[in-house]
Chain A
């Protein structure tokens, strides 16, 4: 009888939650509805490429309020997975290519949540007792591996995943993190991912996903993020939220006509949906609640365009743009946007980014949606970058030892920006590092050295907090979590850690001589810097899930490069040599051992004494005869009659001669 009050309580809570955060639930009057929304964000990038970010979100109400285990839209596989393994939160990403933090941005929600390390990254928070977390993780990896046709099950072994305290994602113990940098990502991983969508790729925005064109891109990352509050520990029950995002960076086909290598800047390539994807949007997925396409213009671009507009107004006063950038001089849009949002500028920057919204509800097969962007003037802008550009590399050569170095170089951040965030005095720039190193790279954590602006610095001055769990051979990887505080005026900084390369057991090597072993990406987090883009909207009730996602405050996050460590590798292609050597050694050993064991010295000597007086061996006899002949003396046969033995030897000689003759004969006449 305690059910009813608890339910009402939870409903109340949800309602309050809704009011506070204006989340996605307030739609057709009913809270307990499964919902699906599809959105696409397009963004021109400074280096003549286009970013396309697909965002699909499916929500299921809590189990207690829905119709048992039956779902309308929500994928059953995911729901079962959540039920079975008590997953509180999970993120799985498949990535091909590297995100270019310098050119594609490192300070916006897209880059910090969608730029992922190459290969597979998986982390999950479980809502189970601590001793069952590992078992749940193992089961989860196997399930996901089956679901997504990938070898995620390799994350099962304890050498590949790690549990950490606070470095990467704030959680309370039940978190496991693992990456597979070597995993190749292809369409076989995309298809199951698309199967989770209610319309698959048959209708709606996902129909744009033409495999050849998206895999031809420069970056491809498909991500699946899952939050659930099914279980008793959380007070808010929002059900399961499944967020699927696909981020691709594509190069529009620029016609090679304008290839001039003069110093003047080139016109950005113009593009349209049909030119970059090879398809058009032929209507929305009818099951989707919202189905929108956005075009985002970055701050830098908007500033440049405004400058351009100002120049134009000076020269020609008839172009006074009243409606913002709607009829700007820089580019032209083929479809007129339905709405335009401006970013709410909290930090008093010069300008703010602009978002155009297209609702594709009114488009159909007969009137497909094909957004095109044509540049009219060459524009050069730069994207917002993370406060420090981080890169990681290996130092040293050879097969014995090396050094991992992480270097930070400050990017061009406006001065006021830094000081606006933190107080003027004792200004510190915080950077968190989370790094997992496989056990065969034996990192000596005591060799950690920090250099700031080219000067060695005491670790205690820079490192605020540190958590290290050293690796254990064949059991667990080494995990390092660091909180660094640099002075704000830092220009460059570097961290070095020395390591020894370990030896693998013979069955741990890949089957052939390999290129090396990977050290997964380190995660660099700047917790003082929050990425959030707040767009001013007219009616806050009908908020799109993607924009609310952008609005969430999350720290700036970047991944470093994957490193390749060549380890000493035995040459497995020649096991034959080993077999031969072993057999020879064995034969020699056993031969001599047997010889020693069965030898009876006294007996032998007696026999030898007897025989020495009688006769010499056959071969010495022959030899002595030969030498006697050479010396021209008469050969004197030994005293004892040895006719039988000489007879045998001549017979043998005859046999050998006959065989040799036959062989020579055969050799000549066989040809």
Chain B
């Protein structure tokens, strides 16, 4: 206010520096937005260079400080279990419950407390009303038949001198109907550790071994157990069904354990899911770590660090994290890596202390890992049964050990069990040492290799640079549209502002409300589109393609209806105001909405926001009415038209998905039904990405297309 007064009196008055800075930014927004965007993309590409080596942050963990106690004796016991299980599988008469009974027998022979947990498979259904709510126990189970149930076997070792307040969980999923060698081996590893832990004296936390019946999926079994652990139902359907379906078991031990009920052991400190897969093409045993839980939540980095440290430095296992394999053969990435490497060499020759160059191969690998890390976090779907634990704030990871063990090579199998068992023992011992909960290391990070990570402070830069241009451009567009541009002001600063002009300015300055209304309506439409699949799912016998088509048609229909009802806001202000202002204002409000949406999303799931920003920011910034560009026949304008069309094409979520899928997996056999399936999986896991696509991305895309096709 003081500024405007002083302007009218003394035009040459120096403004406050912050205002001057803002004016400078707004007036140079074109240049700055281009610089920011390219810098953002470049930083993203540079992230593998900036990754730091992981380190054990919590000193109390002390991984590998004790010699492994697991000996060949436990391994031979475990071999017995593996043999019994595989024999059981060969028998034709083996029923589902037989294997659980065998495992329970083995557990109780060790002196552990054994209990069974019966659960019924739950269909993953889309419930629009409790999308973000915590896992609900009271979900109605409609079609339960007594024959279809899973049976988890749970063994608990009570720490001899512990107070029983905390517990460490071991999970081995296996299919009780058909036990493969890999599953039997994973049970063997867990059993060898379990039998060791019944005898050790250092145990301070209880150990829970959950043998999850993965007949209906690994995640479902673990989730059912956790639900019973945290949100048990004391009354109602669950117990009724349990009684109804009783009478299947005649064995006394089973009977008694089932009746004795669910056994518990304190707060969970950490959980390890152990899986063994047969990969005969591997030359050596390797270990894959899966850590992504729902909505891109990660376990504490220290947990991964311990596993990594013990696997590499103690057991000599090769450790892997998920990669985008198709990126490894990328030519341009290789070239970029080489350029960065030579730059690093150059920097090193200038000053030996500047060490930022990494070999090109490492760079490519790091980029591939980073891309997959980003993708899986952005997807918001847990990559394994460990995801169920994260819903209850328990740090958990899945360890997938791939072996070359064949059933006839006894020595190799022993060696494999010994190494796997020692690794698990070491991890458990480390977690057991922990006095506090995991808090020391990072929770927000991206992995570029098993031993390199990017913390939130680093990867935030790329996103911040990308997003920073949005408010600037929005402000400059607004200023242009209202003739409030400081440059204009400077030019005609001499002539005094009349009263009429003043009124015009105030009228014009409120004009953005029309645009805001339009943006709001489109965002509301996005919410409607989000809810449509719930109704489409009710249609029986629908192939993914037809349901997708139905969805698209319904969406368009609802968009039309919305405009019809709300008095076609697109053409509301046409008569009174010049068109040029109108599209600029619309673009400005769209960009602001996109900015707010992206920032909100970055809090919920950073990776989604990052990928979304990569797609959306250029589209939003470039959007310009085609009519204006076509009128003036210049090469620059035509290139802009081309850019707009390309970005508009890529920005549409289905096309974006299909294009990326095609690029990474090959274009053959791609159909629109893939997108529907993908989306279905996202909402079934109630991922925030689904909300992002519907509430932010799609409306912004529609608005950008509207700006491009604006009639001016």
CB under 8 Å from chain B, chain A span 467-522: 492, 494, 496, 512-516, 518
B10 touches A608 (CB 8 A): yes
Please count how many residues in chain A sit with their CB below 8 Å of the partner chain's CB atoms: 57
Instruction: Using A47-B111, A605-B9 as known contacts, say yes or no to A397 and B164 having CB atoms under 8 A apart.
Output: no
Q: CA of A601 to CA of B5 in the docked complex: distance in angstroms?
A: 12
One of A256, A398, A514 near B436 (C-beta < 8 A)? A514
B164 touches A394 (CB 8 A): no
A230-238, A301-309, A562-570 - interface stretch: A562-570
Minimum CB–CB distance from A365 to chain B (whole Å) comes to 32
User: How far, in Å, is B560 (CB) from chain A's closest CB?
Assistant: 43
Judged by a CB distance under 8 angstroms, whether B235 is at the interface is yes
Given contacts A409-B261, A671-B352, A397 and B12 within 8 Å (CB-CB): no
B468: min CB distance to chain A, Å: 21
Q: What is the count of residue pairs linking A and B with beta-carbon distances less than 8 angstroms? A: 113
Bound together, the chains give a CA A516 to CA B393 distance in angstroms of: 14
Query: Are A118's CB and B439's CB within 8 A?
Result: no
CB of B271, distance to nearest CB on chain A (Å)? 13
The 0/1 profile, CB within 8 Å of B marked 1, for residues 435-478 of chain A is: 00000000000000001001110000000000000000000000
Q: In the assembly, what is the distance between CA of A393 and CA of B156, in Å?
A: 15
Which residues from A are CB-within-8-Å of B280? none
Chain B residue with minimal CB distance to A561?
A: B164
Is residue A218 contacting chain B, with contact meaning CB distance below 8 A? yes
Pair B165/A612 contact, Cβ less than 8 Å: no
B235 and A393 form a contact (CB under 8 A): no
A398 and B13 contact, Cβ closer than 8 Å, known pairs A97-B160, A100-B158: no
Query: If the complex has contacts A395-B230, A398-B393, A409-B261, are A513 and B439 also in contact, measured as CB distance less than 8 A?
Result: yes
A323 within 8 A of B: no
1/0 contact string of A577-610 vs chain B (CB within 8 Å): 0000000000000000000000001000100110
- Chain A residue nearest to B243 (CB atoms) is A454
Interface contact A515-B163, CB-CB below 8 Å: no
Classify the interface of chain B: helix, strand, loop or mixed. loop
B392, CB-defined interface residue at 8 Å:
yes
Contact A455 B235 (CB under 8 A): yes
A263 within 8 A of B: yes
Contacts A218-B160, A409-B260 given; indicate if A609 touches B351 (C-beta within 8 A).
no
Is B201 in contact with A216, judged by CB distance below 8 angstroms?
yes
Instruction: Please tell me if the beta carbons of B264 and A393 are within 8 angstroms of each other in the complex.
Output: yes
Task: Tell me whether B163 and A98 are in contact (CB under 8 A).
Answer: yes
Which of chain B's residues 1-23 have a Cβ closer than 8 Å to chain A? 2, 6, 9-10, 12-14
- Cross-chain contact A98 with B261 (CB below 8 angstroms): no
Complex CA–CA separation, A261 to B13 (angstroms): 93
Residues of B close to A569: CB separation below 8 A: 439
User: Is B435 in contact with A407, judged by CB distance below 8 angstroms?
Assistant: no
Nearest Cβ on chain A to B432's Cβ, whole angstroms: 13
A-facing mask of B294-325, CB < 8 A → 1, else 0? 00000000000000000000000000000000
A655 and B90 alpha carbons, distance in the complex (Å): 88
Bound form: Cα–Cα A181–B161 in Å: 13
How many Å lie between the Cα of A513 and that of B434 in the bound state?
Answer: 12
Q: What A residues does B435 contact at CB under 8 A?
A: 515
CA distance A667 to B105 in the complex (A): 72
A415 contacts chain B at the CB level, 8 A cutoff = no
Q: Does A288 contact B (CB under 8 A)?
A: no
- Interface of chain B residues 470 through 490 with chain A (CB within 8 A): none
The answer to whether B437 and A513 have CB atoms under 8 Å apart is yes
In contact, B267 and A516 (Cβ under 8 angstroms)? yes
A608 contacts which of B12, B235, B239, B243 (Cβ < 8 Å)?
B12
Which chain A residues lie closer than 8 Å to B161 at the CB level?
96-97, 215, 218, 220
Say whether A571 faces chain B, with CB atoms less than 8 Å apart.
yes
- Our pick among B134, B160, B201, B243 for the contact of A397 (Cβ within 8 Å) is B134
B261 lies within 8 A of A407 (CB): yes
Which residues from 377 to 432 on chain B have a C-beta closer than 8 Å to any C-beta of chain A?
391-393
Instruction: Determine if B12 and A398 form an interchain contact, defined as CB atoms under 8 angstroms apart.
Output: no
CB within 8 A of B234: which of A119, A259, A494, A609? A494
Cβ-closest chain A residue relative to B437: A515
A405 CB-CB contact with B under 8 Å: yes
Give complex CA distance A395, B231 in Å: 6
Contact B80 A451, beta carbon cutoff 8 Å: no
Contact: B260 with A119, CB < 8 Å? no
The answer, yes or no, to whether B109 is at the interface (CB within 8 Å) is yes
> A516: which of B12, B77, B437 is its contact (CB, 8 Å)?
B437
> Is the CB–CB distance between B14 and A608 below 8 Å?
yes
A97, A119, A261: the one within 8 Å of B106 (CB): A261
Tell yes or no: B162 within 8 A of A by CB.
yes
Residues of chain B contacted by A47 (CB below 8 angstroms): 111
A575 sits at the interface (CB 8 A)? no
Asked if B266 is at the interface of the complex by the 8 Å CB criterion, the answer is yes
A407 to B164, CA, bound (A): 17
Within 8 A of A (CB), among B500-532: none
Q: How far is the CA of A564 from the CA of B232 in the complex (A)?
A: 18
Given contacts A407-B261, A513-B437, contact A563 B13 (CB under 8 A): no
Interface flag for A396 (CB, 8 Å): yes
Contact between chains at A562 and B267 (CB < 8 Å): no
Contact with B along A179-217 (1 / 0, CB 8 A): 001000000000000000000000000000000000111
Shortest distance from the beta carbon of A565 to any chain B beta carbon, whole Å: 8
- Cβ of A312 within 8 Å of any chain B Cβ, yes or no, is no
- Least distance between A93 CB and chain B CB atoms (Å): 14
Q: How far is the CA of A326 from the CA of B2 in the complex (A)?
A: 107
Measured between C-beta atoms, what is the minimum distance from A207 to chain B in Å?
24
Closest CB-CB distance, B520 to chain A, in whole Å?
32
Given A397-B134, A398-B134, A513-B437, also A451-B234 (CB < 8 A)? yes
Cβ–Cβ < 8 Å partners of A512 in chain B:
436
Q: A359 on the interface (CB 8 Å rule)?
A: no
User: Is A454 in contact with B234, judged by CB distance below 8 angstroms?
Assistant: yes
Inter-chain contacts of B437 with A (CB < 8 A): 513-516, 566
Contact A562 B165 (CB under 8 A): yes
Near A by CB (< 8 A), chain B positions 81-136 give 105-106, 109, 111, 134
User: Is A18 an interface residue, CB under 8 A from the partner?
Assistant: no
Which of chain A's residues 254-280 have a Cβ closer than 8 Å to chain B? 256, 259, 261, 263
User: B218 near A: Cβ within 8 Å?
Assistant: no
Tell whether, in the assembled complex, residue B260 and residue A397 are in contact, meaning their CB atoms are under 8 Å apart. Answer: no
**Knowing that A407-B261, A496-B234, A562-B165 are A-B contacts, what are 4 other residue pairs whose CB atoms are under 8 Å apart, sorted by A's residue number?**
A215-B161, A397-B134, A494-B234, A608-B13
* 10 closest Cβ pairs, A-B complex: A454-B239, A564-B165, A451-B234, A397-B392, A118-B163, A612-B12, A513-B439, A494-B234, A218-B160, A564-B267
Q: Which residues of A contact B (CB under 8 A)?
A: 47-48, 96-98, 100, 118-119, 181, 215-218, 220, 256, 259, 261, 263, 389, 391, 393-398, 405, 407, 409, 451, 454-456, 492, 494, 496, 512-516, 518, 561-564, 566, 569, 571, 573, 601, 605, 608-609, 612, 667, 671
Could you jot down 21 A-B contacts, CB within 8 Å? A47-B111, A97-B163, A118-B164, A181-B163, A216-B201, A217-B160, A256-B73, A261-B106, A396-B231, A397-B391, A397-B392, A398-B393, A405-B232, A454-B234, A454-B240, A515-B165, A518-B165, A561-B266, A562-B165, A569-B439, A605-B6
Listed in ascending order, the chain B residues whose CB lies under 8 Å from chain A are 2, 6, 9-10, 12-14, 73, 77, 80, 105-106, 109, 111, 134, 158, 160-166, 201, 230-232, 234-236, 239-240, 243, 260-261, 264, 266-267, 351-352, 391-393, 435-437, 439-440
